[in-house]
Homo-oligomer: A and B are copies of this chain.
Amino acid sequence: MTRVLIVEDNRDLAYGLRNNLEIEGYDVDVAGDGAEGLGRAKATRPDLVVLDLMLPKMDGFRVLRALRDDGLTMPVLVLTARGEESDKVRGLKLGADDYLTKPFGLLELLARVEALLRRAGPRAAAETIGELEIDRSTRSVMRSGSAVELAPKEYDLLIALADRNGAVVSRLELMRQVWGYSDAVITRTIDTHVAELRRKLERDPAQPRHILTVRKVGYRLKR
């Protein structure tokens, strides 16, 4: 499923956008300020970012620059207040892909999101990680050619790891992304699910080659 991150401090607007994007079938994440937006973008690597320029903590320009400096290349659709031409110029230099001036029509936003994603190229039908194949359009996973049945949580967990491109994902991040909690981790929930994933995906679950433990931090998915 295509994932969109909205970075917008106006709660009503953010909520409205999320609703409508979700109806269109996107998987939507929302951040309420610039710092949080940058963090979530780096963590979850969405397919597209809708970025307001006026933001608390860290304004849109800095977020955009930080994103690009981090090597993230997903399209960014910038929301700008009316008539701030100079913003456009400045933003374009920093690597925004499209602009929308407030107030804007919802249909226009949806059309632009769609256009940007199309221009960015259709997402690969199936990504390959070692001997694993993940097809997000059907939420199905194969190991060296044969289908593997994953429970919803297991699939979500795998995706959370796969999205990080081999980097470590902390327990806290997993809790937030997969479980939607923000609490610290005290139970064995994550470990249990990792174990189950290993049982299903690894040749030798005792000697995992893909889902690796990073002690005191979390897990990572080696490609």
Please list the residues of chain A having a beta carbon within 8 angstroms of any beta carbon in chain B.
1, 16, 19-20, 22-25, 105-108, 110-112, 114-115, 137-139, 151-152, 166-170, 172-173, 176, 182, 214-217, 220
Of all chain B residues, which has the CB nearest A110? B106
Give the distance in Å from the alpha carbon of A139 to the alpha carbon of B212 in the complex: 12
Q: Which residues of B contact A169 (CB under 8 A)?
A: 25
Q: Which residues of B contact A114 (CB under 8 A)?
A: 107, 110
A166-B138 contact, Cβ under 8 Å, with A23-B105, A106-B107, A107-B20: yes
Partner of A137 from B16, B137, B167 at Cβ < 8 Å: B167
Give the distance in Å from the alpha carbon of A112 to the alpha carbon of B19 in the complex: 11
Q: Which residues of B contact A1 (CB under 8 A)?
A: 168
Q: Which residues of B contact A214 (CB under 8 A)?
A: 138-139
Shortest distance between the CB of A122 and any CB in chain B (Å): 12
Q: Which residues of B contact A152 (CB under 8 A)?
A: 215-217
Q: Which residues of B contact A106 (CB under 8 A)?
A: 107, 110-111
Q: How many copies does the complex hold?
A: 2
Asked if A137 contacts B168 (CB within 8 A), the reply is yes
Asked if B137 contacts A166 (CB within 8 A), the reply is yes
Partner of A217 from B16, B115, B139, B166 at Cβ < 8 Å: B139
Given A20-B107, A23-B173, A138-B220, 6 extra CB contacts under 8 A: A20-B111, A23-B172, A23-B176, A25-B173, A137-B166, A138-B214
Q: Which residues of B contact A107 (CB under 8 A)?
A: 16, 20, 24, 106, 110-111, 114
Asked if B139 contacts A105 (CB within 8 A), the reply is no
Of all chain B residues, which has the CB nearest A112? B23
Give the distance in Å from the alpha carbon of A137 to the alpha carbon of B23 in the complex: 26
Of all chain B residues, which has the CB nearest A167? B137
Shortest distance between the CB of A118 and any CB in chain B (Å): 9
Asked if B105 contacts A24 (CB within 8 A), the reply is yes
Asked if A138 contacts B167 (CB within 8 A), the reply is yes
Asked if A25 contacts B170 (CB within 8 A), the reply is yes
Q: Which residues of B contact A19 (CB under 8 A)?
A: 108, 111, 182
